[in-house]
Structure 1
Amino acid sequence: MITNRKKALLLAASALSVTGTLALAQDAGTQAELDALRARVEALETANTGSGGGDGNLRIGNTTLDLYGYVKADFFYDTDFELGDLADTSRIGEPQFATDGTFGATVRQSRVGLRTTTPSALGDIGGQLELDLFSGGTDGPAELRLRHANITIGDHWLIGQYWTNFQPLDTYPTSVEFNGPVGIPFARVPQVRFTNKIGGNATFALSVEENVGASNSDDPVLTASAEYNDGKYIARASALYGRAQSGDVEVDQTGFTLSAGIRPWEGGLFQVNYVDGEALGPYLIGFGDAIVGGEANDVDGFTVELRQQISEKWNVGIAYGEEDYDLPTSTGTLAFTELETIHVNAFYKATDDLTFSAEYFFGERNDASTGRTFDSDRVQFAAQLNF
């Protein structure tokens, strides 16, 4: 659309130039008018291609629009249990997903988003709408799903759907498969959030959020977070309070996260996340039950990741995650209390926008009723083109 508009404007400029030249042959006094018309065309072209001349933004009035996203193709092979497009750990140990080896492929992680920015007396008003293709669940068809839809006002307010304030985004481990390690909060929810900066590197945020669906509560969730990030060191803490419900039983839903990251040497990154609380299962990757037998299900989890930038094009890493519940969550034939995952991956940046990646995934889940453990492996390759 931007290219077509530029072509139209350039054609208009050419037409004006030809017309002006003919007129100039009749009347040299029209040169000033011709120059003015050319200047107006150039100004119009600049306004519609965004400030900066070719930065990829479209400007409508005083609003700047930015289209972003990526196309991603994933190819994977599961050794013991079919984990689906999402590498679903809840399938490990379930007989219906047992396999001697299964190949799969998906493009459902591909996504597209639109951001807008409009100056105002309140500061810049921002908008975000982002979709991916995971509406159908673990193995469903490629159907559009809403990820983010929010409004930001100045530097302080966010209204709409975004990552929960309880989630440590800046220290979230990197993976090729969609979910990442167990042992960390992961949720997008409608909310109203206030954020304030302290100095240049510290922020705190307060939010009122909708509870995640599996908590089955109509009560709001309150969160608070504080973070320090200077590029080399990251330290973050967050807390959550809400309610969870199962049938006629309602319990408090409380928890906290502690996160830290450091770049200890050139190209190196080491980061950890810890989460603890009661009835928090619906917020975690493992998705354990919030309430079991009329009691709040306490859980703690952690992740640890080490990454290294080998060269301008190569980046490698390993991440470990674990979740431990007090009470078992039933997922068919198993009722688990413990989950573990390992991700070992490498990323090759072929160009500024095209990345190839490979990953080995290991997942383990226990059966609390028998004491047995089950595990599965996955090898995954992907190509991703950002735009």
Structure 2
Amino acid sequence: MNAKTLTQSFNFQSTTVRPTMQRTLMMSMIALSMGGMSVAAQAQTQQQTEIEQLRQEVQALRGLIEQQKVQNTQTANAIANVQRSSASPSPILKTAKGAEFNLYGNVRLDASYQVEGGAKDMPYNQINGVPLEGNNEQSDRLRSTLSATRLGLDFKSPVGEQDIKGKIEVDFLGGANLDNLRIRHAYLNYGSWLIGQTWSNFAIPDYMPETIDALAFVGGAVKRTPQVRYTTKFSPQTNLVVAAEDPKDSSISQRLPALTARLNHQFADNLNVSVRAMGHEKRVNSEEEMAWGVGVGAKYEVVPGTTLKADYYHVKGDSSFVSFTNKGVVAQANGDLIQSEFDSIMVGITQKFSDKVHGTLGYGYMSFDKDPDYIAATADKSTINKNLWQAWANLFYSPRKPLSFGLEYVYGEREAFGPALDKDTKQPISGRTGEDNRINAVAIYNF
């Protein structure tokens, strides 16, 4: 075969093969295109399925969130209802003038079995006047009273940018037999000012160990006076309180109020201290003497549930603030005034055993200066004391919040500057000591 023939043969084959290859290639491209379209369709279908599943999951999560919100709201409402039901109600009442007020008080029964003690027919402390040994001693007596039952009213009303606040509180411990209505507190409070009757700024009960006895024990003071008081706050921990007070001293002719000052400071969350001072003119006829006194009190929480309290006084010439003292001032035959002077201290520890039970151990002591002129100026030496002391232990039980019961044992003695004398012969008919030996009990319903 020659070259020409080969060339023609190749050209013929090429002409014959090319359409076939083109058709085959076209068919392959069409198949590939159809396969790609099929894969794309499958991918799109799968993507739509996944999107739908995701949409369903989001919807389910949204439903869970809404359900949780409902549950949280129900829980919050339930907690609020419990808190409202457990909190003590504080009803707001209004007077005709628009002042808001709350009523409170208690019904209180006190009883005392007196092994040895005072002559007054009441179940409260009379340590400074208990009969001396061998002279009209009062033994084995039961006494009770509801005279310490209390009724109070707290109120407030807006005046300018502040509220004027006040309190009125009464009980039935007035009069000689302690069964007459008397004012305990009656005052108005506006800003830093207080006007009215409340606890003395000098003889405060804050640092007295707890007692059942409504009149407290040796070294304590439960004095309420009419006063004008101003408080200056230096810091959240420190303030100074100054006051002009009427101590209601019936032994003198009063022309000026007593001036008192009290500095309070909180050293830590568990330690409070108070330093106090007092000055007051004592006037008998035309003679005058200045009475004065200082006091220091402290309250210390040793550990949660265990609290120590202590209160100390040194006073000269006054018997109107601290309880159970000798007469503050006496006149000599020539008219000169002689002043009594004393130191007193009261300490105690209170232990909380549970939410329902707590108790206190306490001790009080009072010592009077042995001034021969003062003693000589007093006709009956058995009525003035050289020293007094009392020790007590009590336990309080509160089975439910409105109710409280207490039991207390107290023992104390007084030593007089002289024995009791026979009125006719002027001979001693007693010793110089008297005894206070009692068991006290109390039941209180608070409202």
Shorter-normalised TM range? 0.7 to 0.9
Map of 1:289 onto structure 2: 327
* Partner of residue 222 from structure 1, selected from 251, 254, 259: 259
Give the equivalent residue in structure 1 for 2:396.
347
- Select the residue among 330, 338, 350 that pairs with 1:307: 350
* Corresponding position of 1:40: none
Task: Evaluate the alpha carbon distance shift between residue 181 and residue 100 of structure 1 in structure 2; reply closer, same or farther with a 3 A threshold.
Answer: closer
TM-superposed deviation, 1:133 = 0.4
Q: 1:288 to 1:244 in 2, by over 3 A?
A: same
2: CA distance, partners of 1:193 / 1:141: 29
Match of 2:93 in 1: 58
For the residues of structure 2 that align with 1:88 and 1:288, how far apart are their CA atoms?
Answer: 13
Match of 1:379 among 427, 430, 439: 439
Name the structure 1 match of 2:148.
109
Q: Is the 8 A contact 2:202 2:321 kept in 1?
A: no
Normalising by the residue count of structure 1, what TM-score does the alignment of the two structures yield?
Answer: 0.80
Amino acid at match of 1:146: I
1:63–1:144 CA distance, 2 compared to 1 (3 A):
same
Q: Which residue of 2 aligns with 1:236?
A: 274
User: Residue 250 of structure 2: SS of its match in structure 1?
Assistant: helix
> Per residue, is there more helix in 1 or in 2?
2
Kept in 2, the 8 Å contact 1:347–1:355? The answer is yes
Q: Are 1:131 and 1:147, in contact at CA under 8 Å, matched by a contact in 2?
A: yes
State the partner residue of 1:336.
385
**Residue 178 of structure 2 is aligned to residue 129 of structure 1:** no
C-alpha distance in structure 2 between counterparts of 1:88 and 1:330, whole Å:
21
Instruction: Report the Cα distance in structure 2 between the residues aligned to 1:190 and 1:350, rounded to whole angstroms.
Output: 38
Matching residue of 2:368: 325
Contact 1:118–1:125 under 8 Å retained in 2 = yes
Deviation at 1:286, TM superposition (A): 0.7
Q: Per-residue deviation at 1:279?
A: 1.0
Secondary structure at 2:139 match in 1: coil
Structure 1 residue 68, shift from structure 2 partner = 1.4
* Residue type of the alignment partner of 1:381: A
Q: For 1:1-387, what aligned pairs fall within 5 Å after superposition?
A: 54-60=89-95, 62-82=98-118, 84-94=122-132, 98-137=137-176, 140=177, 142-154=179-191, 156-216=192-252, 217-229=254-266, 231-292=269-330, 293=332, 294-326=337-369, 327=371, 328=375, 333-370=382-419, 372-387=432-447
TM-score, normalising length from structure 2? 0.70
Aligned letter for 1:115?
D
Deviation at 1:281, TM superposition (A): 2.3
Which secondary structure state, in structure 1, belongs to the residue aligned with residue 117 of structure 2? coil
User: Runs of 5+ in structure 2 lacking a partner?
Assistant: 1-86, 420-430
The structural deviation recorded for 1:96 is: 7.0
1:38 aligned residue: none
Secondary structure of the equivalent of 2:302? coil
Distance 2:400 2:380 in 1: 43
Separation in 1, partners of 2:318, 2:441: 32
The 2-side partners of 1:53 and 1:312 are apart by: 17
Aligned 8 A contact 2:117 2:126 in 1: no
> Any conservation in 1 of the 2:299–2:310 contact (CA below 8 Å)?
yes
User: Could you tell me how far 1:211 is from its partner in structure 2?
Assistant: 2.9
Letter in 2 for 1:165: N
Aligned alpha-carbon RMSD (Å): 2.2
Larger mean Cα displacement after TM superposition, 266-275 or 80-89: 80-89
Tell me the number of residue pairs that the alignment of Structure 1 and Structure 2 aligns: 333
CA 1:331–1:172 in 2, change beyond 3 Å: closer, same or farther? farther
